[in-house]
Structure 1
Amino acid sequence: MADSIQPQKHIHFIGMGGIGMSALALILAERGHSVSGSDRKLTPAMQALESKALVLFESQLSNNFAQLGVRGIEAPLVVVSTAIPDTNPELIEARRLDLTIWHRSDLLAWLIEQQPAIAVAGSHGKTTTSTVVTTLLATVGEDPTAVIGGVVPCYGSNGHTGSGRLLVAEADESDGSLVKFKASLGIITNLELDHTDHYRNLDDLIETMKTFGRGCERLLINQDDPILKEHFQADACWSVQHFETADYAALPVQLDGDRTIANYYEQGRQVGRITLPLPGLHNLSNVVAAIAACRMEGVPLDALLSALTELRSPGRRFDFRGEWQDRQVVDDYAHHPSEVQATLTMAQLMVQSGRSPLPRTPQRLVAVFQPHRYSRTQEFLNAFAQALLSADALILAPIYGAGEQPIEGINSELLARSIRLIDPNQPVFVASTMQELTGLVKQHSRPDDLILAMGAGDVNSLWERLSEERIGGEASCSPAIAA
């Protein structure tokens, strides 16, 4: 990686529309750098950057660099992510022009080196934990710089240039590039095999995360995670299961559909009781990790406990989109079996407890799940089938390939058959297209349902599809849940 970015250097992002790339572009623009970017279409993330007067291209063509040249921009620093293939015309042209090319992780590593940084890693909960760290620091007046893989509610953005001492970054492990980050404090939320397109096995993932941990000045880990407990040495740990041996802990007293009440401990001693506006045991763990990180950075406990009322989930994490024909629609990024199970457990808690952060307490849970990547579906087929059983009804979208080539025989119908083998009575329906998916949601849901769309692909368009039909004035569909 280059030592630095000169203030006068122009930076061009290939694939700026991604959630991680757009955050970096925003921060560099706010710090006074000249920035441009491209993507295959003008995404919402790119539209949010238009106010920064950036040069945006709605295509990834080789002549984008010539157009920059017309504007007097020569020899820009080019930034790409792992999602950009070697066959990308813009990347091919950048190499032909012998331009300096950085991976997005190189740029984030450079930002992390500029100031004390908290880097949040782990298989699950990274976005929520980094969002909570950011929110707590912002609420107590620390105003951190933030580079997050989701929209932070208190900023309304995935990137923020703060005036405070700290930077908070989400450290994505999917391609192993987080080993470049040299944070002052590293957090690992948990470890579980995923991204099998990159990692050969669990040991490969563990070694990568150990390298990340060794690169941080201090390391904070989740003591409840068996892999972390067995394989990692850390400066501090947290728990939501026990307090005797954890540096920071919160033991739940009450788990409701709209809140969590827990006794909070530090160094084995109860020092308070906390009430979180985020339901679910997994969210309690995320919040305790964030509190622990802030405490390790010297933030007073009283200030943090007062700030807990300001917590909100990041975008696409149990994100309430609106109501359609008396059904409440929620969007969630869950795309791994453990994430799916945690999200469904939280949703069922809302149904069963009669308490919910939604406008109305739902009476039934209809899960709409889109498998993400053929390789992940193949690897975790049985785990997905088991995790999805807790929905009252289940509708499966076609697999979102995310650039992968299809694997013969691996499809949503196979997942449906696996579910029926476990529970023949589980209502499960399979869509062959996204248009058909919308029709199945109409057919197999009813008023007072919670329609929970889960996945990392374009299943998040479900709300827009339903909204268009609502605006079009379609009559309410009749309920038809299959046994």
Structure 2
Amino acid sequence: MAPAPGIPTALERPHFIGIGGAGMSGIAKILAARGAKVAGSDAKESETAQALRALGATVHVGHAAAHLADDASCVVVSSAIRADNPELARAAELGVPVVHRSDALASLMGGLRPIAVAGTHGKTTTTSMLAVALTELGLDPSYAIGGDLEGPGTNARHGEGEIFVAEADESDRSFQKYDPEVAIVLNVELDHHANYASMDEIYESFETFVGKVVPGGTLVISADQAGAVELASRVRDLSTLKVVTYGEAAAADVRVHKITARGLTSEVTVVLDGRYLTFAVSVPGRHYALNAVAALAAGVALGIPAHNLASAIGTYTGVKRRLQLKGEAAGVQVVDSYAHHPTEMTADLEAMRAAAPGGSRLLVVFQPHLFSRTQELGTEMGQALALADSSLVLDIYPAREDPIPGITSALIIDAATAAGAQVTAAHDKDAVAGLVAGMAGPGDLVLTMGAGDVTDLGPLILARLSA
């Protein structure tokens, strides 16, 4: 077992700008657990902020220069932090070093056996499956995930074991900072249009990521998805890299023999080293079953017995916002989905359609995420919504972006209508819960979908249904 890693000097007294974010809070939590004096700020109060305070971190609400302590050893930022942030300006005045989130995470993995999980979709689920399974097996891993496993603050953990599982973000190329022993690539598609102009740029970025795998390490990559297959062909000449493919393709090294849907769960059978292995996956959908197979292949690459790992993966019960059942009222189930790219939307809608009882309807509340993504993929988003019986489409959630003239939710609504979907614009977010409650009947499934604050609507819809 590897010795417990220490804290780099630069991270002994870190100040996080945007400490409540999924990626930032995880790093802050691990540093606090290792004994660092953690501080930071976030735009609003949250349960995540409260969870960090419980670990001893100082968390300010709002951004102000005074929040940055004079003795801070560094300021940690993500790519979402704007250059005019007052705390960032104060850091420049004081000469405090600025560290990108990815560099901080990379330093936390030093001296351990990292598994870095990459891909346009499915990173959070796959990372979570590995974290849960390795913990179940008593290996006490450290992990940093882009979503909460159970409650606020459960997106990361400092373990005493030698394995570190990390979600590797391609959106800003920050995943190129890591040196994993095992890299997973689930899929490769064009997204993050503000940072990538073409598929060639995407491939180049992923090639750089794969090239950072340590000598003798392993790449676990999909044998089914076209972008992943292309990437595999580009990196096979790396002499120090072992490539393990997984999927339903006949030539896959870890071949999926059968996936059986069982309501909101599934069962998957794989062929590994000539033997059949069947295990349960506690979330619905073929895409989640395939994520579980990727997790299995990665664990085997680290030397963990496949049958032990398969049983442990079966203990995974989901992560917040990944087809998470929020509750049931008046015979209506409300489920929440983080899907915001057309491929993700289609996969989750197909999974929910397969899980729906006969004769029930699938009703969707969709919130587009980012103007740039809507500009490039709005038509495909609308086409995906044709899988639902009826949809409400909210205004675009801007996140870090400024509006783009002429880019609105109407692009999605027009495309959905052209595809034969029943879609209605919902400009007043406060009225949505009442609208859905009036539409839904016993046996129906309601899916709130998107990467923004549409997730807040689930409890409100349940409350209206219960009234």
| TM category, shorter | over 0.9
Instruction: Supply the distance in 2 between the matched residues of 1:37 and 1:401 (Cα, whole angstroms).
Output: 23
Counterpart position of 1:377: 374
Q: 1:433 aligns with which of 414, 423, 428?
A: 428
Give 1:273 shift: 2.3
Counterpart position of 2:279: 274
Identity within the alignment, %:
37
Query: Is residue 2:261 matched to residue 1:261?
Result: no
Counterpart position of 1:134: 131
Give 1:113 shift: 2.1
Counterpart position of 1:240: 247
Instruction: Supply the distance in 2 between the matched residues of 1:8 and 1:370 (Cα, whole angstroms).
Output: 37
Instruction: Supply the distance in 1 between the matched residues of 2:277 and 2:187 (Cα, whole angstroms).
Output: 25
1:42 aligned counterpart, secondary structure? coil
Q: 2:19 aligns with which of 16, 20, 29?
A: 16
1:411 aligned counterpart, secondary structure? coil
Instruction: Supply the distance in 2 between the matched residues of 1:432 and 1:226 (Cα, whole angstroms).
Output: 37
Question: For the aligned residues, what is the CA RMSD?
Answer: 2.1
Counterpart position of 2:110: 113
Give 1:5 shift: 1.7
Instruction: Supply the distance in 1 between the matched residues of 2:10 and 2:72 (Cα, whole angstroms).
Output: 14
CA contact (8 A) 2:365 2:394 kept: yes
CA contact (8 A) 1:40 1:58 kept: yes
What is the letter of the counterpart of residue 16 of structure 1? I
CA contact (8 A) 1:7 1:33 kept: no
CA contact (8 A) 1:122 1:188 kept: yes
Give 1:468 shift: 5.5
Give 1:8 shift: 8.3
Instruction: Supply the distance in 1 between the matched residues of 2:153 and 2:8 (Cα, whole angstroms).
Output: 27
- Equivalences for residues 399-418 of structure 1 within 5 A: 399-418=396-415
Counterpart position of 1:222: 222
CA contact (8 A) 1:257 1:346 kept: no
Q: Cα deviation per residue 1:373-401 (whole Å; 9 max; x = unaligned)?
A: 11101101221111111101111111101
What is the letter of the counterpart of residue 291 of structure 1? L
Runs of at least 5 residues in structure 2 that lack an aligned partner in the other structure = 1-5, 237-241
Instruction: Supply the distance in 2 between the matched residues of 1:90 and 1:154 (Cα, whole angstroms).
Output: 29
Residues 154 and 250 of structure 1, relative CA distance in 2, 3 Å threshold: farther
CA contact (8 A) 1:242 1:251 kept: no
Query: Is residue 2:356 matched to residue 1:351?
Result: yes
Counterpart position of 1:478: none
CA contact (8 A) 1:223 1:237 kept: no
CA contact (8 A) 1:324 1:466 kept: no
Query: Is residue 2:437 matched to residue 1:442?
Result: yes
Give 1:265 shift: 1.1
CA contact (8 A) 1:151 1:315 kept: yes
CA contact (8 A) 1:131 1:314 kept: yes
2:165 aligned counterpart, secondary structure? strand
Instruction: Supply the distance in 1 between the matched residues of 2:171 and 2:10 (Cα, whole angstroms).
Output: 31
Give 1:155 shift: 10
Give 1:320 shift: 1.1
Counterpart position of 2:255: 249
Residue correspondences, number: 452
Query: Is residue 2:66 matched to residue 1:38?
Result: no
2:356 aligned counterpart, secondary structure? helix
2:146 aligned counterpart, secondary structure? strand
CA contact (8 A) 2:40 2:67 kept: no
CA contact (8 A) 2:396 2:408 kept: yes
Instruction: Supply the distance in 1 between the matched residues of 2:83 and 2:343 (Cα, whole angstroms).
Output: 32
Give 1:27 shift: 0.4
Q: 2:96 aligns with which of 86, 94, 99?
A: 99
> 98-107 or 309-318, which moves further after superposition?
309-318
Instruction: Supply the distance in 2 between the matched residues of 1:298 and 1:190 (Cα, whole angstroms).
Output: 24
Task: Give the TM-score normalised by the residue count of structure 2.
Answer: 0.92
